[in-house]
Structure 1
Amino acid sequence: MDKQIVFEDEHIRAIYLKGSSDTLVLSFGDLITRAKGNSINAEKSLSKYEYSVIGIMPKQKSWFPHDSMMGVLNAVQGILAEYTRVVSYGGSMGGYAAIKYAKPFGMNRVVAMVPQYSINPLEVEDRRYTDFYDANVNGDMRIQAQDVVADCEYIIVYDPYFDLDREHYEKIKPLIPQLHTLHLPYTGHDAIAVLANSALLHDFIQHPFDSTYFYKQIRAVKKNSKFYYRSVIAHSLGAHNEALGDILKSIDLQLDSSFFDASLKQTITRILLNNKRVDEQDLQKLGIAINLPFEERTQLQDSFGKVLVFNVITQKLESYDQQVIDVNGKYIIPLHVEHTGLATVVVKKQTYLICMNDRRVTKLFKAEDELSSDMNPLLIKKGMGFYSVSYKQLYMHCDEQGNCLFESDSLSDAHKFIVA
């Protein structure tokens, strides 16, 4: 199907894709799916059902300014007149626009995933997007009752347990008497990714609203969405740690290595290790790579009586209770030291230096290899009845959770490790 740019200014690019449907879909992009060539938000799913689409794609993080949107409206009046039904669809910033501009574009149905009410810092407590607010561009931008179309259907999908998005929903809800709400718990702001499914989008556009029907379809999509399980895992940590093990044991999940950042990976592996639930299959499901196992060596204890280890999963120094090490010794290897020198570990009779940079990224280097310019080896110092570990001028200590931190340039009891 041919596409053509029908409007463009510094903030917005609008692309028309003519299909065979009587319904015209206005698909609004978001912060991630900003204008790139002739691409349209959710284009693959919409094209599958041959919808006619106007993709309204943001070129900047400017929340679809009113003047730009009126420019789009003037440019597409002729196109709008060709269709008996107009549906708007978008998430986050796009969800805001789908609601805000329903009246001038004559919407019959609005589908908004985790929309904003406003990004004006005087109107919302949520500070995720307020840096993008420009009074000259976004003046009077909040969604108001006068924006609402009386005979238009509105569907909002959001996570009621996610405080930041719930604030926006609670400000929007009183403005739309006929609002339909679908809850997507424990997904945070990831509703768009979790529900990325062609058949479900088709239902959102065409199917008469029936909450029972939609929840059934949503459950089916969630069950096969790795984004959903990633969100559930991230949101369950701390309060529902056992749920993590249950998910890993019962679900056929395969995340890639970029799904969790380094901090979240460390939290997840600590929970798994402390709950004695780690096996390689679990880690592979989470997209966490495992380096070669280390040999057991002499142990050091921190000020909490926990053993200092090198975690081959997170590639960090940490401390654990001995019983946790006894169960998971394949992954958390007690540090071996005998005298003052560079901190090392031994893998299959090969010695590796434990090195770190100023961003606290830890890497292993073979003793004979050159270090990259940003890396410095950790130093072990032997004192009278204790050892210390330092990076440059900073001494390491372990907190009660077992995280190893380099924060002080003076040596205290918290920085002293004793031989177990």
Structure 2
Amino acid sequence: MTHVSTIYEDDEIAVSFLDARSADLLITFGDLATLWSEGNFYGRSVAEKLSLSTLGIMAKKPNWYPCSSIVALEARVRQLLTKFRHRTLHGSSMGGYACVKYSALFAADTVISFSPQWSISPFTTLGHASGWVSHFTSTMTGMEIAPADVGGKAYIFADPYDKSDKFHRRMILEQCRDAVEVDVFGASHSVSAVLAGTSNFDQILKACIANDLSLLRKVCNAARRRSDFRAYIVADRALSRHPKLVATALLNADVSRSAYRQFCRDKGVRLLQELAGAFPSKELADAILPHLAKGCDVVKLLMTAGIPHDRSPVLQTCHGTSLFYDLELGRCVHGISASGRYVPLTIQFVDRRLSVGLKTVLGFAVIATHGDGSLSTAALADEDLFDLRVSYSLSGLLCLRSRNYYVAAEPGGALICNRSEAGTWESFTVHLK
């Protein structure tokens, strides 16, 4: 059983020590996305699974680890560090900078740095710190990594196609001629996400300590090929120049992968715009539509992607059925297919609001709800009805809502607006007719 305790804290940093009784010590620095929170530090989960004693150094704000705080920390833990046979420093981005910058101070044997900055000063980075320059303050003047800062064998991981990271790695290598470049193609600035995982880090750590470059590159290449994050980045980079290639890959992709769902959600509309009707848009839109997170994106996709106007978005239920208006009953139902008395329901903007309705010779007839929860057309009703709106649940699923209730698709074909919470029956997907 490992024990974690806070052993140092000031206004800039907080430091935890995980005592796993190991012979070697891992010293980690958190990145900008993982600022300090009570009891947590960068790499804790991996350290616990690998039973690695770890000194977890966390910034309390985007401060790039001020020298005064780190020097004070080193003095506090100097005696503790002597108990360990081997010291490895590790971090990503802001943390990647710190593990190189303070490697000599902590007498590191090995440094594993993911996507580090050399500096974020606008006066020395020549435009290669645009994402971080807003965090630069006058107290950071002189923060650049210098030869005297670097100790141990340093491994600098970066995507050589990321212009900013390539610049920073080159500047670090000029200060540390013995450092090793490790390329992680297609990772952009997210090397840590592409190489994430306990097994990956264990193999990377062992390869770096042994200076086994062949094994190190083999591990990294295998990890990046498996990475959903890398698949997303590669597709995003190819989107402008090779939209047809991206579309083909998307239609043949494993739909269970998180990268597939995320790409459809973030880039689906843009992909169809890039294609501008030069691809089988219906099949592609059918693949993308269920994953879009916002109703306005659905309409934008249909209006701007070159999809023929006679194709309308159809709402489908968790039962595999579609929503229809029953002309004989004068009510909305759900079923397998439209025939005669059943008119498919669709969605479109009405008075700047996404509404549910059906197309008629007189125009778009909006659907509303009765007091008993049934659904009908506002145009045909002779009683007070309540607006029916397209909304999204907390989990991002499309729902139909009126007042404070959700529409449920009940087994048997009934649609009823009387649910206070949105679950499976109250969730819908959008497909092209």
So what's the TM-score if we normalise by structure 2? Answer: 0.68
Give the 3-state SS of the residue equivalent to 2:304 in structure 1. Answer: strand
**Equivalent position amino acid for 1:217 in 2:** V
For 1:275, the equivalent position in structure 2 comes to 279
**Equivalent position amino acid for 2:288 in 1:** L
**Equivalent position amino acid for 2:308 in 1:** I
Deviation at 1:271, TM superposition (A): 4.4
Gaps spanning 5+ residues in structure 2: where? 315-342, 358-365, 369-385, 390-433
Q: Contact 2:272–2:301 (CA<8 Å) still a contact in 1?
A: no
> What does 1:230-309 align with in structure 2 at a 5 Å threshold?
230-249=232-251, 251-252=253-254, 253-255=256-258, 259-260=262-263, 264-271=267-274, 274-276=278-280, 278-279=283-284, 282-283=287-288, 287-288=291-292
The 3 A distance-change label for structure 1 pair 144 and 311 is: closer
Deviation at 1:64, TM superposition (A): 0.3
Q: Deviations over 1:361-391 (max 9, x none)?
A: x74466455599xxxxxxxxxxxxxxxxxxx
**Equivalent position amino acid for 2:349 in 1:** L
For 2:404, the equivalent position in structure 1 comes to none
Gaps spanning 5+ residues in structure 1: where? 292-309, 333-346, 357-361, 373-420
For 1:377, the equivalent position in structure 2 comes to none
> What does 1:53-202 align with in structure 2 at a 5 Å threshold?
53-124=54-125, 125=127, 126-136=129-139, 138-149=140-151, 152-202=152-202
Deviation at 1:354, TM superposition (A): 4.0
Q: Contact 1:46–1:202 (CA<8 Å) still a contact in 2?
A: no
Q: Using the TM superposition, name which of 253-262 and 19-28 deviates more.
A: 253-262
The 3 A distance-change label for structure 1 pair 283 and 264 is: closer
2:304 to 319, 325, 342: 319
Deviation at 1:262, TM superposition (A): 6.6
* Distance in 2 of aligned mates of 1:93 and 1:229: 24
Give the 3-state SS of the residue equivalent to 2:308 in structure 1. Answer: helix
Q: Contact 1:354–1:365 (CA<8 Å) still a contact in 2?
A: no
Deviation at 1:320, TM superposition (A): 4.7
Q: Contact 1:95–1:112 (CA<8 Å) still a contact in 2?
A: yes
* Distance in 2 of aligned mates of 1:160 and 1:319: 35
Q: Percent identity?
A: 22
Aligned-residue RMSD, C-alpha: 3.1
Q: Contact 2:253–2:260 (CA<8 Å) still a contact in 1?
A: no
* Distance in 1 of aligned mates of 2:88 and 2:97: 14
For 2:32, the equivalent position in structure 1 comes to 31
**Equivalent position amino acid for 2:15 in 1:** A
Q: Contact 2:264–2:292 (CA<8 Å) still a contact in 1?
A: no
Give the 3-state SS of the residue equivalent to 1:193 in structure 2. Answer: helix
Give the 3-state SS of the residue equivalent to 2:58 in structure 1. Answer: strand
Q: Contact 2:12–2:66 (CA<8 Å) still a contact in 1?
A: yes
**Equivalent position amino acid for 1:167 in 2:** F
* Distance in 2 of aligned mates of 1:51 and 1:87: 11
* Distance in 2 of aligned mates of 1:290 and 1:130: 32
Q: Contact 2:272–2:305 (CA<8 Å) still a contact in 1?
A: no
The 3 A distance-change label for structure 1 pair 370 and 42 is: same
Task: Kindly indicate whether residue 24 of structure 2 is the aligned counterpart of residue 20 of structure 1.
Answer: no
The 3 A distance-change label for structure 1 pair 281 and 371 is: closer
Give the 3-state SS of the residue equivalent to 2:258 in structure 1. Answer: coil
Q: Using the TM superposition, name which of 166-175 and 104-113 deviates more.
A: 166-175
Task: Kindly indicate whether residue 349 of structure 2 is the aligned counterpart of residue 353 of structure 1.
Answer: yes
* Distance in 2 of aligned mates of 1:282 and 1:212: 40
* Distance in 2 of aligned mates of 1:188 and 1:44: 24
Q: Contact 1:315–1:363 (CA<8 Å) still a contact in 2?
A: no
* Distance in 2 of aligned mates of 1:258 and 1:36: 30
* Distance in 2 of aligned mates of 1:54 and 1:81: 13
* Distance in 2 of aligned mates of 1:258 and 1:63: 34
So what's the TM-score if we normalise by structure 1? Answer: 0.70
* Distance in 2 of aligned mates of 1:120 and 1:351: 50
For 2:4, the equivalent position in structure 1 comes to 3
The 3 A distance-change label for structure 1 pair 158 and 282 is: farther
Deviation at 1:119, TM superposition (A): 0.8
Q: Deviations over 1:8-49 (max 9, x none)?
A: 111111100011321100111001111111112121112111
Deviation at 1:246, TM superposition (A): 4.6
Q: Contact 1:257–1:287 (CA<8 Å) still a contact in 2?
A: no
Deviation at 1:132, TM superposition (A): 0.7
Give the 3-state SS of the residue equivalent to 1:117 in structure 2. Answer: coil
* Distance in 2 of aligned mates of 1:209 and 1:250: 39
Q: Using the TM superposition, name which of 275-284 and 28-37 deviates more.
A: 275-284
Q: Contact 1:7–1:15 (CA<8 Å) still a contact in 2?
A: yes
**Equivalent position amino acid for 2:76 in 1:** A
The 3 A distance-change label for structure 1 pair 317 and 9 is: same
* Distance in 2 of aligned mates of 1:311 and 1:25: 46
* Distance in 2 of aligned mates of 1:268 and 1:209: 43
Deviation at 1:67, TM superposition (A): 0.5
For 1:213, the equivalent position in structure 2 comes to 215
